[in-house]
Copies of this chain bind each other. A is one copy, B any other.
């Protein structure tokens, strides 16, 4: 019996709150990728929705709760995708949304946050600097701070992906999940370990942003001084203890991959699946590329978690 902060009944109930455009996303076997990866590959596509990432699942829960409570404003720190999603969910419910992000976040993400009507505050420094600033704003203004991965709605929203993976009679052996703050990994992992305990849950993080993966292996929070990865969506330095506790219960492994593998993964998804994804979404394919023997002949599902990418950088990466 799992003893995480998550609850399956609440996760099931979340489907009633989340806008349908974020739910029941495509899940399909991609033959063309399989030939190149040496294993059966199923894609769970989280990019074909109004904010081009899975984060809307969580922000729909957060914004709905705030609206029910009569709150009028909310602030979050974001690497870019949470901010877009919260702006989208908040706008529909009349909430004033403030997003704090690093000035170094992809322009595509920052522009969309503004376009969706949120107030965008940029900080020097990285995502963890933005987290501190968002907390300050929340205190000063007396408004709700949404903390990705810590706030249970962000985890349980993401967990609805797990419900969809567990529908029907899935045949996959392994699910590969991008690991950043841990909302998606703990959410999906919780559902899979509850409903499909035989399915292996493997988290994948860039070697250049390894804090949560190292923490998982050492079973205690390990922080890093800096990050160095193109996978901006998962580049945190300070794992949250409660999230690590959950992750320790639901993940079978956590692996680190190199930048060259992330790029190769993005290129393969474009060439063989016709999909543009951001670097974080290629982590699963990167993990297979780095350890083909481990996955040979198996059926692997990977969640393509976002497609918000600066196209100039993308073209540089995928160009042969």
Contact = CB atoms under 8 A, between A and B. Distances in A.
Interface of A: 20-21, 24-32, 35, 43, 45, 47-50, 52, 112, 115-116, 168, 270-271, 273-276, 307-309, 311
Given A115-B35, A276-B270, A309-B274, A50 B26 contact: no
B32 A27 contact: no
B21 A274 contact: no
Contact of A47 (B21, B168, B274, B309): B274
Complex copy number for this chain: 2
A237 B112 CA distance: 43
A115 B48 contact: no
Contacts of A309: 274
Contacts of A275: 48, 276
Nearest to A276: B274
A97 B304 CA distance: 32
A48 B32 contact: no
A26 B21 CA distance: 7
Given A26-B25, A26-B48, A48-B48, A274 B32 contact: no
A276 to B, nearest CB: 5
Contact of A274 (B24, B35, B168, B307): B307
